[in-house]
Amino acid sequence: MAPGNIAFEFESGSLADAEKAFHGAARIIRITLDNARAVGSPLEPRACLAIYEPEAGNYVLHACTQGAQAHALQIASVFKVPGEKVTVVAREVGGGFGVRNSAYPEECAALLAAKVTGRPVKWTGTRSEMFMSDTQARDVVALAELAVDAQHRFKAFRFRFLANVGAYLSPTGALSNSIGVLNCITGVYDVPTAGALALLGLSNTVPTGAYRGAGRPIMSYMIERLVDQAAVELKIDPAELRRRNFIPVDKFPYKLASGSEYDNGEFEGAMDKALAAADWKGFPARREQSKRQGKLRGRGLATPIEASGAGFTPFDAVEIRFDADANVAMFATSQNQGQGHETVFAQLVSAVFGVPMETISLHTAERGMKLAGGGSGGSRTLAGIGNGLRLVALQVVEKGKVLAAQELECAAADIEFADGEYRVAGTDRRMGIASVVKKFSPKAGPHPLDTYYEAKTKSTYPYGCHIAEVEIDPETGATEIVSYVACDDSGTVVNHQIVEGQVMGGLTQGSGQVLGEHAVYDRDTGQLLSGSFLDYPMPRAGLVQGLKLLEHAVPTKTNPLGTKGVGESGVTGSLPTVMNAILDALRQEGVSHFDMPATPDRIWHAIQAARAGNPRALAVEEFAPPN
């Protein structure tokens, strides 16, 4: 990165206050870190179908997106037309991860071509084209510092980091590398003072942006690597050091130096569950067994927390409508990319109405929909739109009491609703909600039970404790994750299977970044060298062995359901957990520091260098931000 290419500076907390705390510290722990550049790589490359309707001047784009409404507004700004002139339609979207959060130039080019030619225009990108055009992520070099007192209690955090945001700022680039990183500036720890400086620099690389976590994994990686380093230097068990510094339960709500406020948390309880499931005390025996087999065994621990749930727009509009057959149609601004929105939303509404889930459908990005909202991202869909749909369903039930009272010849106040039926209290007179819908279904126009609502969302703070064990073959550098325990608090869980799938996918994604994913550029020419899956290793299903997933649910008070979000918990936890385990194993060979990617050749070279007297051979150089 050339001098003078700093495009953006952002300070969080107070560096001045942190400096004062560091002066009075009994010990200062420092660590330099390199969070490698990653490529999002959703299952399907981007594609679109562009249509221009000259009579009305409408632009219609069928595309892969995480939020059709925001996508349409971005395109409208490019063409300088009112927002209602652009419609984005999305059906099945094969993965998003933040990479599908914004409009791309190819889509605008296709719409322009459709306008010029008067014909629909289809464009499909190749995988190699996506490697060079989809926003990438991470690529952060940092200096992290921790001040501790004589009792090993944390007094202050201080961070300085440089984020390589690429050739220009993407729509999510600045946010993901500033507020997105620093909103949980002190993690789960009771630390009175913290300060951070984020520098965003331009370079001849693909722009970076939101990618599963959108900055939060960067913060978690800095904090949890730093805390583990402190445990090594202070010669204290890493679990005990964390326990000593957790925010106690009686201090909630807890205000951070960044301005964020945690409403609750039971960090010690989540860690105790994970320690028991991982057989923490039995690790020395397993390490000795691995040693007898010629392997280096290491364990890593992390207690991540992240901000989720907050809206990108003032509200997310939701609506429930009925047809003449009493089928329920849910309308929302979310966009399913494999998270099971149709299932979870139907569960919520079915539970309120007492009707079969099969009679409930979800509609998101379709022609004719003009609901406002921010789409899906930041683990916010259930907390925002899920709560909104449930509240709409409850409003429908109340409106239905008035209609049912007309048929049952009683006052609406005498009506009770349970198990899908309106009942006159103290009698056997009743009427199912489906019967009410059919009875009052109009010949034309909206049904009297159709209901619209604007859902507003506050931030939530899911957290957890992750523990991994790895085995490394020192002769080849090959690394295997032999066990992984994740205990997460995502608040109220609506669908346990979907939550497990989200955590499993996230921690595999994070582990993949640690073990090999790395977008490599030629330093002299700026040429992308890892431009396909031949050069960029994607994690496979068997990457993480011995997986145990646990829940420690503490419902949040910031939304009626008590949900906190779970889509990014796995990746936020696995980045530091797996790297801590790898470094714990490598310390047996004298390696004192190591940065991702932990590929076999890099691990082998680190071991050889340590044996030759250089324990930091593959560590990032001392952080020195450019002018």
User: What's the domain count of the chain?
Assistant: 3
- What are the CA-CA distances from residue 300 to residues 226, 229, 241, 405, 482 (Å)? 13, 11, 14, 62, 12
Q: Are residues 337 and 278 in the same domain?
A: no
Asked if pLDDT for residue 367 goes beyond 90, the answer is no
The answer to whether residue 111 sits within a structural domain is yes
Please identify, among 77, 104, 133, the residue that sits at the C-terminal boundary of a domain: 133
Cα 441 from chain centroid (whole Å): 42
pLDDT at 403: 96
Indicate if 173 and 193 belong to the same structural domain: yes
pLDDT band per the 50, 70, 90 thresholds, residue 623: low
Asked if residue 618 belongs to a domain, the reply is no
Q: Is 580 within the bounds of a domain?
A: yes
Position 475 in a domain: yes
One domain, residues 432 and 497 = no
What band does 380 get if pLDDT is binned at 50, 70 and 90?
confident
134 in Cβ contact with 171 (< 8 Å): no
Write phi, then psi, for 431 (nearest 5 degrees). -155, 125
Closest by Cα among 100, 125, 111 to 60: 111
Q: Which two tokens stand for residue 509?
A: 């994604």
Same structural domain, 217 and 361: no
pLDDT digits (tens, 9 = 90+) for 482-492: 999 999 999 99
Regarding whether 274 and 341 lie in a shared domain, the answer is no
DSSP state of 561: T
Residues 334 and 450 in one domain: yes
Return the pLDDT at 312.
66
Per-residue exposure over 337-372, b if at least 16 CB sit within 10 Å of its own CB, e if not: bbbbbbbbbbbbbbebbebeeebbebebbeeebebe
Question: Which CATH number covers residue 441?
Answer: 3.30.365.10
**If 0-12 CB within 10 Å is exposed, 13-18 middle and 19+ buried, where does residue 132 land?**
middle
Q: For the residues 416-442, what does the mean pLDDT come to?
A: 95
* Average pLDDT along the chain: 94
In a domain, 241, yes or no: no
Gap between the Cα atoms of 375 and 291, Å rounded = 50
Please check the confidence at residue 627 and state whether its pLDDT lies above 90. Answer: no
- Assigned domain for 474 exists: yes
Helix (H) or strand (E) holding 583: helix 569-586
Same domain, 450 and 474: no
Which range has the worst mean pLDDT, 14-23, 91-100, 147-156, 485-494? Answer: 91-100
Which residue among 455, 470, 501 closes a domain? 455
Structural domain of 340? 316-455
Q: Is residue 98 helix, strand or coil?
A: coil
pLDDT tens sequence across 164-193: 999 999 999 999 999 999 999 999 999 999
162 and 127 inside one domain? no
**DSSP codes, 485-548:** EEEEE-BS-S-HHHHHHHHHHHHHHHHHHHHT----B-TTT--BS--STTTSPPPPTTSB-SEE
Residue-level pLDDT at 311: 64
**Mean pLDDT, range 428-435, rounded to an integer:** 95
Task: Give yes or no: residues 199 and 219 share one domain.
Answer: yes
Category of 214 on φ-ψ map: left (φ > 0), alpha (ψ -120 to 50) or beta: left
Return the closest-CA partner of residue 265 out of 515, 556, 472.
556
- What local confidence, expressed as pLDDT, does residue 625 receive? 58
**How much is the average pLDDT of 543-569?**
94
Same domain as 514, residue 417: no
500 and 433 within one domain: no
- Checking if the pLDDT of 503 tops 70, the result is yes
Query: Do the Cβ atoms of 400 and 439 come closer than 8 Å?
Result: no
Res 598: pLDDT: 97
Confidence of residue 1 (pLDDT cuts 50, 70, 90): low
pLDDT value, residue 624: 64
Which of 244-248, 361-365, 533-537 ranks highest by mean pLDDT?
244-248
pLDDT of 604 > 70? The answer is yes
Element (H, E) at 300: strand 296-302
Residues 331 and 358 in one domain: yes
Mean pLDDT of 478-484: 98
With bands split at pLDDT 50, 70 and 90, how would you rate the model's confidence at 94? Answer: confident
Whether 354 maps to a domain, the answer reads: yes
Instruction: Specify if 243 maps to a domain.
Output: no
Give the residue from 398, 425, 455 where a domain finishes: 455
- Band (521; pLDDT cuts 50, 70, 90): very high
Residue 549 C-alpha from the chain's centroid? 18
147 — phi, psi (to 5°)?
A: -100, 130
